[in-house]
With several copies, the nearest count.
Chain A
């Protein structure tokens, strides 16, 4: 597999073409806007956490490159229905995987999100992949504080 194909794995291109979790973020209890200033890509993501601490609903809108859009989509599929603590753990794990530049192997818990491992090699794309995850993290922190 070439570096490029390792970056743009099939699952990423698929999610980019048919993204999951798209919808009105402002209909959720908490929402957050994230921007990548170097390219202008942006995501607004909303999440609702129920009393049991479970992410009961999660929707986003935005525009950006295939990495940022597919990543938000994969995350929606992975974390809708997850507990807040599990979500924090997955977000951290995802961040670690990217920052390690390929050194940290993803666990099975990351499921499809493991496909983003190749992004770590491309420093300038890490922010793209993190965009939706950072927005969710902000929503969850807000919900935990509330």
Chain B
């Protein structure tokens, strides 16, 4: 289908499929739902399974050699994931996922505001939280709840008809009462990439904290949270070739030590009496209870796998995929592509609206053609409301995605309206 003769990176795309057992089971699968969750390579599965089969033991509790070795493996995984995103070791907290990480921040600030911990992070009635209309629910509802608990006010940055927000629109919303700006590094619907530097500068100019939803960036491009200068960031392992059940919270060291832990229990304390508990410094203060131990080993292996590919190369590969996705959608009659226009920077995510055919039906048709994509509101109802639709059809890529996949997607997309008898 592609006629400009460009090829994707020789090391990525089809060449990588051999590493992913999912593709041995489904050799013809066109898996374009990596934005929802990615497949896992053998290296990740084996790291976890080998650990579970031979080296499994409790970590950070007790003194046995087995515990020592398991703790060592667990902490090495932390170092690896921290290094992968440019965080210090003490700045990386294991969480149940990105959603959990974002809640950890908002619930912690709630407790700080209620006088349960360092009040440097407390919000008062009338303080403002800025976020975008493009937010995934995970980076929206926790702030709604925080606002309800503290009397703070949400100040949304609107999106345009293509679903895009701008730094100018954000500047117009930020005031001296802005205490926190939450925003998506990459939108999971439009693929828009945020001008992080500008947002950080804006936040600093009013003394606000920044919270970066890095779910869709960390798996797909080089991300260095320290260099970006954000205060907090969240991402999930399962979108970056790692296991489900684990994610990470990044926070600048002094902020993490000040943030009250929302989840409490074992292994995060120093001294506990019946009345009081004193908490450890970060990251352990946030890691109450038995941690996702084998998942951390898998997460570390995923970071190592991506590091070996090189995130610059991954981004370059996915830029070519993104271009091809845009081209495929743009050339199909009756299909409207949301997000950045052709020729503009975007992640390898393309959401489309097929005129006259509901997204569920589009999805079912593509599925029948062996093309797995995602339909629905993608946990971004406000953004879809702004786009004027209840749902869209989204294709999203990863390191194993190839231009052939995009071609198969484009082909099937071209047949949808015919099948449902919609006249062009």
A residues at B contact (CB < 8 Å): 2-4, 7-8, 13, 17, 35, 37-42, 63-67, 122-125, 128
Q: Of the candidates B63, B64, B68, B357, which one forms a contact with A39 in the assembled complex, judged by CB atoms under 8 Å apart?
A: B63
Q: A37-B280, A39-B377 given as contacts; is B360 within 8 A of A67 (CB)?
A: yes
Whether B364 is near chain A, meaning CB under 8 Å from some CB there, is yes
Is the beta-carbon distance between B375 and A39 smaller than 8 angstroms? yes
Q: Of the candidates A8, A40, A65, A122, which one forms a contact with B68 in the assembled complex, judged by CB atoms under 8 Å apart?
A: A122
Cα separation A122 to B364 with both chains bound (whole Å): 9
Q: Which residues of A contact B64 (CB under 8 A)?
A: 124
Cα separation A120 to B136 with both chains bound (whole Å): 31
Is the beta-carbon distance between B360 and A39 smaller than 8 angstroms? yes
Q: Of the candidates A13, A35, A40, A42, which one forms a contact with B376 in the assembled complex, judged by CB atoms under 8 Å apart?
A: A40
Q: Is the interface of A mostly helix, strand, loop or mixed?
A: mixed
Q: A13-B420, A39-B360 given as contacts; is B63 within 8 A of A125 (CB)?
A: yes
Q: A35-B271, A39-B360, A66-B358 given as contacts; is B65 within 8 A of A122 (CB)?
A: yes
B residues at A contact (CB < 8 Å): 60-65, 67-69, 71-72, 267, 269-271, 280, 357-361, 364-365, 368, 375-377, 381, 384, 390-391, 419-421
Q: A2-B368, A4-B368, A66-B358 given as contacts; is B420 within 8 A of A123 (CB)?
A: no
Is the beta-carbon distance between A39 and B71 smaller than 8 angstroms? no
Q: Is the interface of B mostly helix, strand, loop or mixed?
A: mixed
Residue of A at shortest CB range from B390?
A40
Residue of B at shortest CB range from A14?
B421
Q: A3-B368, A13-B420 given as contacts; is B270 within 8 A of A123 (CB)?
A: no
Q: Which residues of B contact A40 (CB under 8 A)?
A: 376-377, 381, 384, 390-391
Q: Which residues of A contact B384 (CB under 8 A)?
A: 40
Q: Which residues of B contact A35 (CB under 8 A)?
A: 270-271
Q: Of the candidates B271, B360, B368, B421, which one forms a contact with A65 in the assembled complex, judged by CB atoms under 8 Å apart?
A: B360
Q: Which residues of A contact B357 (CB under 8 A)?
A: 66
Is the beta-carbon distance between A124 and B68 smaller than 8 angstroms? yes
Cα separation A8 to B363 with both chains bound (whole Å): 13
A–B pairs, 28, beta carbons within 8 Å: A2-B368, A4-B364, A4-B368, A7-B364, A8-B420, A35-B270, A37-B269, A38-B61, A38-B62, A38-B376, A39-B376, A39-B390, A40-B377, A40-B381, A40-B384, A40-B391, A41-B360, A64-B358, A65-B358, A66-B360, A67-B360, A122-B68, A122-B364, A124-B62, A124-B64, A124-B67, A125-B364, A128-B360
Residue of A at shortest CB range from B422?
A17
Beyond A39-B63, A124-B62, A125-B360, 15 extra complex contacts between A and B, CB < 8 Å: A17-B421, A37-B270, A40-B390, A40-B391, A41-B360, A63-B390, A64-B390, A65-B359, A66-B357, A66-B361, A67-B360, A123-B71, A123-B72, A124-B64, A124-B67
Cβ of A117 to closest chain B Cβ, rounded Å: 16
Q: Which of B63, B360, B391 has the most A CB atoms < 10 Å from its CB?
A: B360
Is the beta-carbon distance between B270 and A122 smaller than 8 angstroms? no
Q: Which residues of B contact A66 (CB under 8 A)?
A: 357-358, 360-361, 420
Cα separation A124 to B421 with both chains bound (whole Å): 23
Q: A35-B270, A39-B359, A65-B358 given as contacts; is B364 within 8 A of A13 (CB)?
A: no
Residue of A at shortest CB range from B376?
A39
Cβ of A8 to closest chain B Cβ, rounded Å: 8
Q: Of the candidates B69, B358, B381, which one forms a contact with A123 in the assembled complex, judged by CB atoms under 8 Å apart?
A: B69
Residue of B at shortest CB range from A40?
B390
Cα separation A7 to B391 with both chains bound (whole Å): 21
Q: Of the candidates B63, B280, B376, B381, which one forms a contact with A122 in the assembled complex, judged by CB atoms under 8 Å apart?
A: B63
Cα separation A7 to B367 with both chains bound (whole Å): 12
Cα separation A64 to B376 with both chains bound (whole Å): 11
Q: Which residues of B contact A37 (CB under 8 A)?
A: 269-271, 280
Cβ of A95 to closest chain B Cβ, rounded Å: 16
Cα separation A7 to B361 with both chains bound (whole Å): 10
